[in-house]
Amino acid sequence: MEPAEAVAKVEEWLTAVHGPGLVRAERDKVIRIPEGWVVPYNNIAYLDEGRTEKQIFPPPSLIVREPSGELRISHPHPGGLSIPATIPGQQAERELVDPEYAAANLGRLGVSESAIAGWETVDATGQKTERFNEKYTVGPKRRGHLPAENQLETLLQFHNGGWLDRERFLIGLVECEVFIDLDQSTGKIPSTNWNPETSEFQVYTSTKRLPSNAHGYWRIDPATLAEDPNKPNLVINGGPGFTGNKVSFTELTDILARFPRRAERVNATGYCAEADPLLAQLAQETAQQIGLPSPVDLPLREAEQARARGYELTVSETRKIVEAASWVKRLEQPYEGKIVNLLAAGVRFDFDEEGRAVRRVENFGKFHPEAGLGFRYGWHRIVGAYVGFAIGESLGLQTQGRTPEEIKEPLAAKRIGPLTQQLLFMTEGAMRSPHREDPKQLTKLPRSVRNGLLRWLHTQGIPFPKADGWLVKISRLFDQRDPDPAEFAAIRAFATGTATLPLTGAGALLAALPAALTRGDDLTGNPRSAAKAIAGLTHHEQADLDGAAYLAHVFQEVLTKDAFSFPIWLVGRDVLDPAWHDLRAMTEETLPRYGRTGLPALAHPNSVGDGRSTVSVLGRTFAAVAGFENEPERAFRRSVMHDGRTALTGALAGALLGARTGVPGLPQHWVEQLELRDVIENLASDAYFHFDRGSSLFRKPDEWKRRYPRD
């Protein structure tokens, strides 16, 4: 289509809408954009006579799409979406664009049909009808992909997911910038970034996606890279699931010839936060102020650990690490000067075998000085699961037995609840089982977990002679947490061997997380069998035991050491046992099929069962989380706003969310408020180290057996 043809279509529409001789296209300002031809127009009295009071402001324009010739009204703000142009009195159709695409600021690229959920039609009488788009596909956020850090990662996700074709992806790419690993001390790029045989150049979407050992970068735009005499073919790495995306030099230069970069050129080098010279200066100044003989090291290793797990240390985090490390080191010796607020300075606490607090540096859930990437599970995911569990229960306790209308105050995750206490002691019990040393003794796991429950009961006023280990020495765990009286009495009866009838219901699901951890090393048993054995201490109904086994398998998948954990809507469909008919039916009801085209159905938690049986609690948990993995606060609220066991569904939802994202992905205002977070993180870290293949039980047996005496 030629510009003149586009102008003619616009003027025909202007005449139909405004009448003849009132407005006119500005022919000399017609420009080409990816969506088509942009044709601005204005009042003739302003254009011909200069009468500013007649000017239409802001200046409007129409887009004529190619090749269809469809007319659309431009959005007044850059990046906004155009809408179909209509004629008053005639039938009009409005596109229902996926909110994720609408918020991406990519309106200049147009909207593909696969990003349109449907259409709303308004006829001449004002009657509205809707029709859904069978070609619509759900976006990456709802599918559970890692959240995009910038527009380039958004482009990659939209392109790979079918929302942007190749041409539109390339047009967007040339307006972005990329990062290249750069050794600032030598000014050289590592040889692994350049392959002279294929002219492939490794670039990254952000400093967060750089190789884990990178501490400096070169930031540059693709248009400038296209001028390199080596004619590089770009290999764009955008994090898990988006690595190795190739753009040839020919593709890049061709698209730049048709759509030149409009933004300013970018060509600069810099340090990652952990290697910034200003951070070294802070370390030096802090050492001088508090009397350290020499400054602490910069957190290079910590940053490498964080990046290997998919995180990045921020400027404020690296400053806190340096400050906290300085104080921890200084307070190893007598100090008579003024001590700052250590918590504000980034000092946290672990606990020794006697339950005494030991200072450590805040790790923000992103690194651990001793934790590798793990054999099966990720340290950060296990810690995230336990912290998430505690947050979810705390929120659920506030809503338990209340309707949404009755909840006026903001939800706050502060005081931990009885389920979190039980989980901590059950996990400690599993760690004290002799089967970790000798897998043939797996049958002794239930007895060890039973003793863990007895230690929990001890903190709630029921004496137990073997109340040893560090966890039972934490005084604040002796606070009364108001467990459900009937369930508390039943657990007491079963733990002490005086029960006559077993418990029934969703309490069996507490066994799933500690059972899953027992598989940190392939030699230590089957999580499903472990879950049934642990749940069987108090529950004998097959449905309850099956639910615990099924959930243990789900945890086994989401706690992966890999950089990406698959979303719940996908993992939850793996119902292994053919006899689990009710569980399979539950997943069909609550887990949307985002892998299909068309608008998926979303179940509301309150619509799933009675909210108390094992299958129903699982279903409500999944309904709350599935599709909301990247909106954790919203998922938490969904998990506790219903008429069922909100404390339990909130806790399980929090554990699943925390397992996927780690502590950094949980709502930080709730993380920071959480009571006893240091204790929870310490116990969860210990569980990781205990069950991993390189177990602390074998690396430091004497210390570990003092912390976790064999039962």
pLDDT tops 90 at residue 502: no
Residue-wise pLDDT for 266-322, tens only, equals: 999 999 999 999 999 999 999 999 999 999 999 999 999 999 999 999 999 999 999
Domain count, the chain: 4
Residues 498 and 539 in one domain: yes
195 token code pair: 């392959």
Same domain? For 168 and 311 the reply is no
pLDDT at 175 (0 to 100): 96
The amino acid at residue 40 is P
Weakest mean pLDDT among 176-180, 556-560, 596-600, 668-672: 596-600
Q: Cα–Cα distance between 711 and 699 in angstroms, integer?
A: 20
Q: Which domain holds residue 291?
A: 274-361
> Per residue in 10-34, pLDDT tens?
999 999 998 998 999 999 999 999 9
Lowest mean pLDDT among 203-212, 492-501, 550-559: 492-501
> What pLDDT was estimated at residue 59?
85
Is 649 part of any domain?
no
Does residue 619 form part of some domain?
no
Report H helices in 291-360: 300-308, 315-330
pLDDT of residue 290: 96
Q: What is the mean pLDDT of residues 592-603?
A: 88
Mean pLDDT of the chain: 93
Band of the pLDDT at 525, cuts 50, 70, 90? low
Indicate whether 538 and 554 sit together in one domain: yes
pLDDT band at 521 (very low <50, low <70, confident <90, very high): confident
Q: What are phi and psi of 351, to 5 degrees?
A: -135, 135
Band the pLDDT of 244: cuts 50, 70, 90: confident
Share of the chain above pLDDT 70, in %: 100
Q: Say if residue 442 is in the same domain as residue 533.
A: yes
Q: Are 241 and 218 in contact (CB under 8 A)?
A: no
Confidence of residue 140 (pLDDT cuts 50, 70, 90): very high
Q: Could you report the per-residue pLDDT of 566-595, keeping only the tens digit for each?
A: 999 999 999 989 999 999 999 999 999 998
The answer to whether residues 446 and 403 belong to one domain is yes
Write down the pLDDT at residue 371.
84
Q: Are residues 181 and 326 in the same domain?
A: no
Interval 90-110 mean pLDDT: 91
How far apart, in Å, are the Cα atoms of 84 and each of 92, 293, 381? 8, 70, 46
- 91 pLDDT band, cuts 50/70/90, is confident
What pLDDT shows up at residue 482? 85
Coil/strand/helix, residue 270: strand
pLDDT band at 614 (very low <50, low <70, confident <90, very high): very high
Question: Quick count: other Cβ atoms within 10 Å of Cβ 128?
Answer: 9
* 522 has a pLDDT exceeding 90: no
Mean pLDDT computed over 381-406: 94
Contacts of 85 (CB under 8 A, 6+ apart): 13, 62, 71, 72, 73
**Helix residue ranges, H only, 259-314:** 277-290, 300-308
Looking at residue 611, the DSSP 8-state letter turns out to be S
Residue 598 forms part of a structural domain: no
d(C-alpha 420, C-alpha 666), whole Å: 17
As a whole number of Å, the CA-based R_g of the chain is 30
**pLDDT of 523 strictly over 70:** no
More confident residue, 521 or 100: 100
What DSSP character marks residue 344? Answer: T
How sure is the predictor about 63, in pLDDT bands with cuts at 50, 70 and 90? very high
The answer to whether residue 444 scores a pLDDT higher than 80 is yes
Return the pLDDT at 533: 94
Residues 535 and 439 in one domain: yes
Of 296, 326, 361, which marks where a domain is finished? 361
Q: CA 328, 334, 336, 339: dihedral to nearest 10 degrees?
A: 10
Instruction: Note whether residue 655 is domain-resident.
Output: no
pLDDT value, residue 48: 87
- Secondary structure (3-state) at 602: coil
What pLDDT shows up at residue 89?
79
pLDDT at 524: 65
Is there a domain that residue 609 lies in? Answer: no
The answer as to whether 639 is a domain residue is: no
